[in-house]
A and B are shown apart, each in its own frame.
Chain A
Amino acid sequence: MGKPAPLGHGLGLRPVYYDEILSTRPPVDWFEIISENYMVPGGRPLATLERVRADYPIVMHGVSMSLASTDPLDVDYLSELKKLADRIEPAWISDHLCWTGVHGVNLHDLLPVPYTKEALDHVVERISRVQDFLKRRFVVENASTYVTFQESEMDEWVFVKEMAERADCLLLLDVNNAFVSGFNHGFDAARFIDAIPVERVVQFHMAGHSDNETHKIDTHDQPVCDEVWALYEQARRRFRDASAMIERDDNFPPFAELLAELQKMRDIDVRIAAEAARSAA
């Protein structure tokens, strides 16, 4: 199972932008969907997705796999996910390093994992089973977190690196999540990025967050801030071929503003590629 080819610069496919995307076919290289929003019997979501898929590559990004939960893996969920993947043929499928509930309950949130050896063994085993089930390499994203557990035995980046190498999975590096978690837990996000193995990262997420002074919350309702753009530049210098996208899930601006943010990302990438070419010459 190899590493999928880079897709370029993408955006999230969100219902508020359906009409504009279908009518203008905007200059976006690919779209990412929230998988669960399309795991329904029929109607507008699937009809729209089929039409967008006809013109753009799609990446499936889930929020409910609950990879780190101590509940059994939900085979019905995985079957539905696979059914959607068989229909849409995404470039890859991702979800988060998190859990969403136990004892059959789903809190519909990305809940934090204690970075223990026990949790690492558990997550590695489950990613391996997911990859066997889906018959593809799975992509795992670092989540924004707000608490640090007393039980943690290693830093998040050590956990992520070990997880990826032992499960032989791929990674989605959410640059904003690294920034938010770094602020909340008092680590340098640049250190996180430098510790992530280059060959594992296939995708970046970029997003805005809200600032509560003592802590930051990953809300996806703001433009990307300057500090996260600076971190993106560092990430891009390290992970040259990662596909990149901007997430926006609330306080939706006109679509043109997202295209402008995407252009900013492209400009950064062009500049960094030129710098790399000059220094190689």
Chain B
Amino acid sequence: MTLKDIQTKFQAAVMAGGQPEGADILVSIKDSARTNRATLFGVYVNAYRLRLFEFMTIDYPALRELLGEEAFDALIEAYVVAEPSRFRNARWFSTRLPDFMEASADWRTNARALSLARLERALTDAFDAPDAEPLALASLGGVAPERWPRLAFIFHPSLILLDLAPGVVEALDAVNEEEPIPPVQNEEANAVAVWRADNDSVYRQLEPDEFLALNEARAGHRFGDICQLVAFQDESQSATERLAQFLTSWFADGLVVGFRESAEDQSSNTPSSA
């Protein structure tokens, strides 16, 4: 056999899994003095699945806890078969799991599991997203109040905003605290921000109006335009005060890495999607 034929058959037998007896590649492999070729080839078969399962277990510990070991293993086995790695860097192998679940009739209806997978992927993505230096709130000190409505903010590249199914944040909190995952307490969706602070991924649940405002701000909309949008959503408090509170917490969280003053709104007043 040529090198290409050997590699093609070798890979096919590794990916097929199970007992390698009968695999085409075995005609090219010798028994050793101590054991047979199927046992020796099996080292590669076992290592392949063990390694991929390990990557997934590291990246989705809470999903594993939510589903239980048996269901999680079934999910990962299906994923490994359907989505073999095409990445040089193992870091990216796990990244398509939420998309795979969403496309799967078996998994897309499990909204809590799908959302938890999205949240855990976001934590992984935030961990090694590009670097940027957060700004201190004091950096706005030189901006006269009348200019504020024209300010647009630039956010840390690690920031990911997610609109998740009910009970997802509680599930992740519980796993982090090594507590049992509680049943879903209420039917409110979980709006969540994920980002990196001090080199670790962090997450925070957001009220609906903060989620809306942060989405708009990240899309490059001006402070003044977002004030109008928040006012439209909730008239119980001054929109400017409320947005100023949000902005203060965004700076405190290290989310803001820059701002610019824009004479004209660069987009329409239509809210951007999450």
Q: Is the interface of A mostly helix, strand, loop or mixed?
A: loop
Closest Cβ–Cβ distance, residue A179 to chain B (whole Å): 15
The answer on a CB contact under 8 Å between A102 and B32 is no
Of A43, A68, A151, which one neighbours B28 at CB under 8 angstroms?
A151
Complexed CA–CA distance, A151 and B93 (Å):
33
Interface size on A, residues (CB 8 A): 47
Closest Cβ–Cβ distance, residue A134 to chain B (whole Å): 15
Query: In the complex, what residues of B have CB within 8 A of residue A70's CB?
Result: 3-4, 7
The answer on a CB contact under 8 Å between B89 and A36 is yes
Kindly report which residue of chain B lies nearest to residue A219, judged by CB atoms.
B47
Query: In the complex, what residues of A have CB within 8 A of residue B6's CB?
Result: 114, 149, 151
Q: Does A74 contact B (CB under 8 A)?
A: yes
Complexed CA–CA distance, A193 and B96 (Å):
44
The answer on a CB contact under 8 Å between A107 and B91 is no
Kindly report which residue of chain B lies nearest to residue A37, judged by CB atoms.
B91
Complexed CA–CA distance, A169 and B44 (Å):
28
Q: Does B186 contact A (CB under 8 A)?
A: no
Closest Cβ–Cβ distance, residue A143 to chain B (whole Å): 12
Q: Does B81 contact A (CB under 8 A)?
A: no
Of A64, A101, A150, which one neighbours B27 at CB under 8 angstroms?
A150
Interface mask (B112-128 → A, CB under 8 Å = 1, otherwise 0)? 00000000000000011
Q: Does A270 contact B (CB under 8 A)?
A: no
Query: In the complex, what residues of A have CB within 8 A of residue B196's CB?
Result: 43
The answer on a CB contact under 8 Å between A106 and B86 is yes
Complexed CA–CA distance, A150 and B3 (Å):
12
Closest Cβ–Cβ distance, residue A173 to chain B (whole Å): 22
Interface mask (B2-37 → A, CB under 8 Å = 1, otherwise 0)? 111011101100110000000000011110111101
Closest Cβ–Cβ distance, residue B44 to chain A (whole Å): 6
Q: Does A69 contact B (CB under 8 A)?
A: yes
Query: In the complex, what residues of B have CB within 8 A of residue A146's CB?
Result: 40-41, 43-44
The answer on a CB contact under 8 Å between B29 and A106 is no
Complexed CA–CA distance, A101 and B51 (Å):
15
Tell me the A201-220 residues at the B interface (CB within 8 Å).
213-215, 217
Query: In the complex, what residues of A have CB within 8 A of residue B2's CB?
Result: 118
Of A108, A122, A215, which one neighbours B35 at CB under 8 angstroms?
A215
Would A185 and B127 be within 8 Å (CB), given that A102-B8, A111-B10 are in contact? no
The answer on a CB contact under 8 Å between A148 and B7 is no
Of A37, A68, A108, A149, which one neighbours B29 at CB under 8 angstroms?
A149
The answer on a CB contact under 8 Å between B88 and A36 is yes
Query: In the complex, what residues of B have CB within 8 A of residue A149's CB?
Result: 6, 28-30
The answer on a CB contact under 8 Å between A148 and B199 is no
Of B3, B34, B55, B128, which one neighbours A40 at CB under 8 angstroms?
B128
Complexed CA–CA distance, A148 and B32 (Å):
8
Tell me the A81-127 residues at the B interface (CB within 8 Å).
99, 101-109, 111, 114, 116, 118-119, 122
Q: Does A131 contact B (CB under 8 A)?
A: no
Would A107 and B15 be within 8 Å (CB), given that A36-B88, A149-B28, A214-B34 are in contact? yes
The answer on a CB contact under 8 Å between A111 and B32 is no
Closest Cβ–Cβ distance, residue A119 to chain B (whole Å): 5
Kindly report which residue of chain A lies nearest to residue B55, judged by CB atoms.
A108
Of A41, A109, A213, which one neighbours B129 at CB under 8 angstroms?
A41
Kindly report which residue of chain B lies nearest to residue A99, judged by CB atoms.
B7
Q: Does A154 contact B (CB under 8 A)?
A: no
The answer on a CB contact under 8 Å between A109 and B199 is no
The answer on a CB contact under 8 Å between B3 and A108 is no
Interface residues of B (CB under 8 A from A): 1-4, 6-8, 10-11, 14-15, 27-30, 32-35, 37, 39-41, 43-44, 47-48, 51-52, 55, 84-91, 93, 127-131, 157-158, 196, 199-200
Given A42-B157, A43-B128: 5 more A-B contacts, CB < 8 Å: A47-B131, A68-B3, A69-B7, A107-B48, A150-B29
Interface residues of A (CB under 8 A from B): 36-37, 39-47, 64, 66, 68-70, 74, 77, 99, 101-109, 111, 114, 116, 118-119, 122, 146-151, 184-186, 213-215, 217
Give 16 CB contacts A-B under 8 Å. Answer: A44-B128, A46-B131, A66-B88, A70-B3, A105-B85, A106-B86, A109-B51, A111-B44, A114-B6, A119-B3, A151-B1, A186-B32, A214-B34, A214-B35, A215-B35, A215-B40
Please provide the 5 A-B residue pairs with the shortest distance between their CB atoms, ordered closest to farther: A42-B131, A214-B35, A40-B128, A44-B199, A43-B128
